[in-house]
Structure 1
Amino acid sequence: MPVFVETVTDPSQQDRIDLAKIFADAPAWLLAPHADAAALIEAGLADHSLIAGRFNDRLLGAGLLQRGEPHWRLSHLCVRKITRRRGVGKRILEESLRLAGEAGKELHLAAPRDHLEAQALAARTHLPLDSL
């Protein structure tokens, strides 16, 4: 399935609905330090770190790609529950790696260090894991 990854800067009303649905499926630990999904989305839009995967004009997954020094960090990666296991998260991760590489930066994953899913993803992708 061709998933196109983009930085979301000026979301349409449908994009906002899709983002709310994406993060509504997120476990509570994934939203921290934000109070809720709406706060996470607004923070990502405000600092231009919101990156999302689009298929057929709908956003299916999103995360925050913080372009910092000395490396970039991908955090809060979430895919809609009904779309999981179809490569959306993988495409967002691949595009984040590509963008970081083009900028001459290393990409790190950021998640709670004691969370097993985050540790497994970091191990599978061979990416460093930073604590949130």
Structure 2
Amino acid sequence: MANEPTRRVWMIAFQNFVNSLKPRKLSGTLKGKDYFGNKYYEIISDTGRQRNSRWYDPPVKDDIAQEIPPEWEAWLRGRRREPPSEQEILKNLEIMRMKKKNAIAVEAKAGKKTPMQKGMETFPEYVEYERVPGAGPKGSR
């Protein structure tokens, strides 16, 4: 009878080992979807000490190079508690489109793409902007 508890411990260890080899099915609650087609899930942890499990499924399986919007990335990494709202996502998407449009307009106004210089001069130079504060625009020297 003295060996009875020992056998039970070995049986539990063996069952845990066998269960660890089986693939787990994650079934979390769907928290949202972004404009790239990614779906975001979460499993709430039972203990207060452990973080919630969060992940996403890309529309094309095994596509790890898929973009993730910054709002969702912050939620995945635990920097924010609540997932982003639909209004917040649409507002940030509109801001992103506006910035792209403004960048194209600035490049068109310059007439050509400005090459990036190397060394200490890493910013593109435009005629209408002053290089040294208070010295006036580049063309007025």
TM-score by length of 1: 0.28
Which structure has the larger Rg? 2
Choose between structure 1 and 2 for higher RCO, CA contacts under 8 A separated by at least 6 residues: 1
